[in-house]
């Protein structure tokens, strides 16, 4: 057994990045300023996006989006239940109705086929979720949304560096990224709103900071522009320079991170091939670059003779950390009591929600750590029945 605990995720922060954050702290300007602008521009360039706005989280980005397109009472928004609950919460907080779509059983992603039957004349927005670093099949969804004149915005929290049909996520349409510590790159907390719609970008830029017509930082005055005026009531969702400078360092290493994550994921695939109780996710067959954000497996509870909670607890006893991405939104207390979805309404989502488990995967992990995880899994499977 491993002598030290292996967490399921750990941010890879370099001494250079720590030094860069310290430099910002010493500079006299620590909130949104030149580093936030630089990070926006670098991320925009990385994705080859038309416009990018740095924010304090992806959740903030989704909130701004709902406000910008005016989602409110009477509107329906289609999104998967297999997601982080932030989007579903925001839809409810906006007074609109979340319409939860089922997913493919083995990729955990929605498709045009699962979304189309849910469209009504009240549907205003579709929010597909790129899962675990893989890309949703966007083309059929884009055709569907445009034919029905419905907004389409990608939850790209897992998809920094993901490519779909040769293009980075963020290049086309509108995508919202997260830089929370478990994501592929981190700012501590942070997010990025990318869009090819310049009007939307302008609106998001304004709404993210009190509805001022100007950004917080003015290059000429080396500080806040005193002339800025409120053009409409806005929020306060800007990214600090302390966070942005960390994001800049991380972005430079993103491709290396993905390379390392891919090697680790391949090792998992190889070693799990003959473990019948453990089912990794499938990789979709359309062209993409998988960013390998998470290594999600499903436990065949019948074959294993134990539930997922026991499996995770037993791995923890063997010093292996795991996570759940995600417990489906509609199975959580508030949504059970308000949405009243019948058992089996989202059968693939429910099946996975009870069985998924994310195994350790992060750039500073060693290949031997994967072997430790597999040894622990095999040990749990033979000792607990
Ligand atoms: C992490 C995550 C979010 C939220 O990102 P924050 O930056 O923490 O707000 C949204 N959707 C998904 C699928 C996520 O995993």
CATH number for 304: 3.90.1150.10
Q: Indicate whether residue 250 lines ligand 1 (CB < 6 A).
A: no
6 in a domain, yes or no? no
| Among 91, 68, 77, residue whose Cα is nearest residue 208 | 68
- Per-residue CA distances from 86 to 122, 317, 328 (Å): 22, 31, 12
Beta strand 191-195 pairing with 174-178: antiparallel
Distance CA 37, CA 361 (A): 31
Domain range for 147 is 15-252
How far is residue 181's CA from residue 227's CA, in Å, rounded to a whole number? Answer: 36
In this structure, the answer to whether residues 234 and 278 fall within a common structural domain is: no
User: Per-10-residue mean pLDDT for the chain, 385 residues long?
Assistant: 95 98 96 96 98 98 98 98 98 98 98 98 98 98 98 98 98 98 98 98 96 72 75 96 98 98 98 98 97 98 97 98 97 95 93 98 98 98 87
Q: Is the CB of 191 under 6 A from ligand 1?
A: yes
* Last residue within a domain, chosen from 235, 252, 269: 252
Distance CA 222, CA 81 (A): 45
With a 6 Å cutoff on the Cβ, whether 184 touches ligand 1 is no
Same domain, 136 and 270: no
Query: What tokens appear for 162 in the block?
Result: 């993901």
Burial of 63 (0-12, 13-18, 19+ CB in 10 A): buried
Let me know if residue 2 belongs to a domain: no
- For the stretch 196-251, pLDDT in tens is 999 999 999 999 999 987 766 666 666 767 778 899 999 999 999 999 999 999 99
Determine what percent of the chain is predicted with pLDDT higher than 90: 93
The answer to the question of residue 4 being in a domain is no
Give 85 Cα–ligand 1 centroid separation in angstroms: 8
246 and 258 together in one domain: no
pLDDT tens figures, 304-349: 999 999 999 999 999 999 999 999 999 999 999 999 898 889 999 9
Task: Please tell me the distance from the alpha carbon of residue 375 to that of residue 297, in angstroms, as a whole number.
Answer: 16
Whether ligand 1 lies within 6 angstroms of the CB of 215 is answered as no
CATH code at position 171 = 3.40.640.10
* 109, 157, 186, best to mutate for ligand 1 pocket (most atoms within 8 Å of CB): 157
Residues 296 and 194 in one domain: no
Helix (H, G, I), strand (E, B) or coil at 362: coil
Please give the Cα distance from 56 to 12 (Å, whole number). Answer: 20
**Is the same domain home to 248 and 264?**
no
- 30 and 93 in a single domain? The answer is yes
Q: By the 8 A CB rule, do 146 and 119 touch?
A: no
Same-domain status, 63 and 102: yes
158 lines ligand 1 (CB under 6 A): yes
Active-site residues: which are they? Answer: 183
Residue 277: CB partners within 8 Å, gap ≥ 6?
299, 300, 303, 304, 381
Neighbours of 378 (CB within 10 A): 16
Structure-token pair, residue 45: 């360039």
Are residues 152 and 281 part of one domain?
no
The ligand 1 atom at the shortest distance from the C-alpha of residue 59 is 9
In this prediction, residue 219 carries a pLDDT of 65
Q: Could you identify the residue written with the tokens 């993409």?
A: 288
Ligand 1 centroid–CA 181 distance in Å is 10
Please indicate whether residue 186, judged by its CB atom, sits closer than 6 Å to ligand 1. Answer: no
86 lines ligand 1 (CB under 6 A): yes
Ligand 1 center to 59 CA (angstroms): 6
Distance CA 104, CA 116 (A): 14
Say how many Å lie between the CA of residue 79 and the centre of ligand 1: 14
If asked whether residues 104 and 184 sit together in one domain, one would say: yes
Distance between CA atoms of residues 298 and 352, nearest Å: 7
10 inside domain: no
Among 178, 181, 293, 328, the mutation site with the greatest number of ligand 1 atoms within 8 A of its Cβ is 178
Residues 160 and 62 in one domain: yes
Task: Note whether 187 and 242 are within 8 A (CB).
Answer: no
Kindly report the protein residue whose alpha carbon is nearest to atom 1 of ligand 1: 157
* 94 Cα: distance to centroid of ligand 1 (angstroms): 18
Q: What's the CA gap between 127 and 265, in Å, rounded?
A: 27
- Of the candidates 110, 130, 111, the one whose C-alpha atom is nearest the C-alpha of residue 47 is 130
Q: Of the residues 155, 162, 294, 326, which should be mutated to test ligand 1's pocket, given the most ligand atoms within 8 Å of the CB?
A: 155
* Burial letters 181-193, b for 16+ CB under 10 A, else e: ebbbbbbbbbbbb
Task: Provide the domain count of the chain.
Answer: 2
Is the pTM above the cut of 0.85? Answer: yes
Q: Whose CA is nearest to atom 2 of ligand 1?
A: 157
């Amino acid at each position: 057994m491993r002598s030290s605990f292996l967490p399921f995720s750990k941010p890879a922060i370099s001494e250079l990045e720590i030094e860069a954050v310290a430099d910002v702290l010493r500079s006299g300007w620590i909130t949104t300023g030149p580093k936030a602008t630089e990070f926006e521009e670098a991320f925009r360039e990385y994705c080859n996006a038309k416009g990018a706005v740095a924010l304090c989280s992806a959740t903030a980005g989704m909130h701004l989006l709902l406000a910008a397109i005016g989602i409110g009472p009477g509107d329906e928004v289609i999104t998967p239940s297999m997601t982080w609950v932030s989007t579903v919460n925001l839809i409810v907080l906006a007074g609109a109705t979340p319409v939860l779509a089922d997913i493919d059983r083995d990729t955990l992603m929605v498709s045009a086929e699962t979304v189309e039957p849910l469209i009504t004349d009240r549907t205003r927005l579709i929010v597909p979720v790129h899962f675990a670093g893989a890309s949703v099949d966007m083309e059929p969804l884009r055709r569907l949304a445009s034919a029905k004149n419905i907004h389409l915005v990608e939850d790209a929290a897992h998809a920094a560096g993901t490519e779909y049909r040769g293009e980075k996520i963020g290049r086309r349409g509108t995508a919202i990224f997260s830089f929370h510590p478990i994501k592929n790159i981190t700012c501590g907390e942070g997010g990025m709103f990318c869009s090819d719609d310049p009007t939307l970008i302008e609106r998001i830029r304004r709404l993210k900071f009190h509805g001022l017509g100007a950004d917080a930082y003015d290059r000429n005055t080396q500080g806040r522009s005193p002339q800025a005026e409120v053009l409409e009531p806005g929020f306060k969702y800007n990214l600090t320079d302390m966070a942005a400078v960390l994001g800049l360092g991380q972005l430079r290493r993103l491709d290396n991170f993905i390379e390392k994550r891919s090697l680790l994921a391949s090792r998992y695939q190889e070693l799990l091939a003959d473990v019948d109780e453990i089912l990794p996710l499938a990789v979709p067959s359309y062209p993409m670059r998988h960013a390998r954000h998470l290594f999600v497996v499903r436990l065949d509870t019948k074959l294993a003779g134990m539930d997922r909670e026991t499996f995770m607890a037993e791995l923890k006893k063997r010093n292996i950390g795991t996570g759940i991405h995600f417990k489906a939104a509609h199975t959580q207390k508030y949504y059970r009591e308000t949405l009243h979805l019948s058992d089996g309404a989202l059968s693939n989502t429910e099946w996975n929600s009870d069985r998924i488990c994310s195994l350790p995967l992060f750039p500073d992990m060693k290949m031997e750590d994967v072997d430790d995880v597999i040894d622990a899994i095999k040990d749990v499977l033979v000792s607990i029945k």
